Structure 1
Amino acid sequence: MGDAGATQKPLKIAIVGGGIGGLSLLLGILNHCDPTVIQPHLYEAAYAFSEIGAGVGFLPNAVRAMRAVDPKLYEAYTRIADEAPRATVNGQKKFEFSRAMMGMDGRGGTNTLKALDHICTIYNDNRYRHVHRAVFLDEMINLLPNGFEGGLVSFNKRCTDVKIQEDGVTALFADGTSENVDAVIGCDGVKSLVRNVLHGGQEQCEPQFTGKYAYRGLVPIEDAVKVLGEKALNQMMTLGYGGHLITFPVDRGQTLNIVAFRSASDWNHGSSWVVPATVDEVLEDFKEWSEPIKKLLALLQKPDKWGQFDLPPLKTYVKDGRVALLGDCAHAATPHQGAGAGMAIEDAAVLGRLLGEITTPDPAQLIRAFVAYDTVRRERTRKLVTTSRSRGLLYEFQFPDIGDNDVMIRDAMVRQWDWIWDLDVDAHCREAISLMHQPPSVVNGFQ
Structure 2
Amino acid sequence: MVGAGIGGVTAAVALEQCGWQVTVLERSAELGEVGAGISVWPGAAAVLEELGVEGVAKAARLGEAAGMRRWDGRWIVEAAELGIELPVMLHRAQLHQLITDRLGPAVTIHTGATVTGLTQDADGVTVTATRVGSGGAASGEAGAGGLEPGSAEYRAELVVAADGIRSGIRGLLAPEYQGPRYSGYTAYRGIAELEVEDSGGETWGRGQRFGFAKLIDGRIYWYATANREPGGADDDVKTLFANWHEPIPALLAATPNVLRNDIYDLPTPLLPFVHGRVLLLGDAAHAMTPNMGRGACSAIEDAGALARVLRAGKDLTAYDAERRPATTKLVKRSHQIGVLGQLDSKFACTLRDAVLSVGGKTAGLLAKRRKVEQSPV
What's the TM-score bracket when you normalise by the shorter of the two chains? 0.7 to 0.9
Matches within 5 A, 1:43-122: 43-68=25-50, 70=51, 72-73=52-53, 75-82=54-61, 93-101=64-72, 115-117=73-75, 119-121=77-79, 122=82
Find out whether 1:284 has 2:239 as its counterpart.
Answer: yes
Instruction: Tell me, yes or no, if the aligned pair for 2:24 and 2:110 is still in contact at 8 Å.
Output: yes
How far off its partner does 1:413 sit? Answer: 5.7
Percent identity, please. Answer: 28
Matches within 5 A, 1:370-409: 371-397=317-343, 403-405=349-351, 406-409=353-356
**TM-score w.r.t. length of structure 2:** 0.82
Instruction: Tell me, yes or no, if the aligned pair for 1:162 and 1:172 is still in contact at 8 Å.
Output: yes
Matches within 5 A, 1:25-424: 25-31=11-17, 33=18, 35=19, 38-68=20-50, 70=51, 72-73=52-53, 75-82=54-61, 93-101=64-72, 115-117=73-75, 119-121=77-79, 122-126=82-86, 129-145=88-104, 151-175=107-131, 176-199=151-174, 201-204=175-178, 206-222=179-195, 225=196, 230-231=197-198, 234-250=199-215, 252-264=216-228, 266-268=229-231, 281-290=236-245, 292-313=247-268, 314-320=270-276, 322-358=277-313, 368-369=315-316, 371-397=317-343, 403-405=349-351, 406-412=353-359
CA–CA distance in 2 between the matches of 1:221 and 1:299? 6
Secondary structure of 2:55's match?
A: helix
**TM-score w.r.t. length of structure 1:** 0.70
CA–CA distance in 1 between the matches of 2:2 and 2:272? 18
Aligned pair in 2 of structure 1 residues 166, 346: CA closer, same or farther (>3 Å)? Answer: same
Q: CA offsets, 1:51-93, max 9 Å, x none? A: 124100112222223234x1x22x421121125xxxxxxxx83
Secondary structure of 1:143's match?
A: coil
Secondary structure of 1:349's match?
A: helix
Aligned pair in 2 of structure 1 residues 167, 388: CA closer, same or farther (>3 Å)? Answer: same
Find out whether 1:20 has 2:6 as its counterpart.
Answer: yes
CA–CA distance in 2 between the matches of 1:125 and 1:288? 32
Give the letter aligned to residue 5 of structure 2.
G
CA–CA distance in 2 between the matches of 1:380 and 1:207? 19
Unaligned runs of 5+ in 2: 132-150, 364-377
Q: CA offsets, 1:105-160, max 9 Å, x none? A: xxxxxxxxxx243523234454x601101111111111122x56xx5322222212
Q: CA offsets, 1:260-287, max 9 Å, x none? A: 11112x2125xxxxx9x56xx1133235
CA–CA distance in 2 between the matches of 1:387 and 1:183? 31
Aligned residues: 340
Aligned pair in 2 of structure 1 residues 79, 330: CA closer, same or farther (>3 Å)? Answer: same
Aligned pair in 2 of structure 1 residues 54, 414: CA closer, same or farther (>3 Å)? Answer: farther
Secondary structure of 1:153's match?
A: strand
CA–CA distance in 2 between the matches of 1:47 and 1:177? 17
Instruction: Tell me, yes or no, if the aligned pair for 1:198 and 1:318 is still in contact at 8 Å.
Output: no
Q: CA offsets, 1:187-221, max 9 Å, x none? A: 0111111111221x2251x1111001111111113
Give the letter aligned to residue 350 of structure 2.
D
Aligned pair in 2 of structure 1 residues 388, 207: CA closer, same or farther (>3 Å)? Answer: same
CA–CA distance in 2 between the matches of 1:352 and 1:414? 40
Instruction: Tell me, yes or no, if the aligned pair for 2:302 and 2:323 is still in contact at 8 Å.
Output: yes
Give the letter aligned to residue 21 of structure 1.
G
- Greater mean alpha carbon deviation, residues 187-196 or residues 52-61: 52-61
CA–CA distance in 2 between the matches of 1:289 and 1:299? 16
Aligned pair in 2 of structure 1 residues 219, 116: CA closer, same or farther (>3 Å)? Answer: farther
Give the letter aligned to residue 23 of structure 1.
V
Q: Match of 2:137?
A: none
Give the letter aligned to residue 224 of structure 2.
A
Q: Match of 1:8?
A: none
Give the letter aligned to residue 267 of structure 1.
P
Q: CA offsets, 1:298-336, max 9 Å, x none? A: 33222121110001122311112x111000111101100
Instruction: Tell me, yes or no, if the aligned pair for 1:157 and 1:173 is still in contact at 8 Å.
Output: yes
Give the letter aligned to residue 255 of structure 1.
R
Give the letter aligned to residue 410 of structure 1.
S
Q: CA offsets, 1:321-366, max 9 Å, x none? A: x1110001111011001111111111111011111223xxxxxx6x
Unaligned runs of 5+ in 1: 1-14, 84-91, 102-114, 270-274, 359-364, 417-447
CA–CA distance in 2 between the matches of 1:17 and 1:194? 10
Q: Match of 1:3?
A: none
Instruction: Tell me, yes or no, if the aligned pair for 1:163 and 1:170 is still in contact at 8 Å.
Output: yes
Give the letter aligned to residue 268 of structure 1.
G
Give the letter aligned to residue 131 of structure 1.
L
Instruction: Tell me, yes or no, if the aligned pair for 1:44 and 1:158 is still in contact at 8 Å.
Output: yes
CA RMSD of aligned residues (A): 2.6
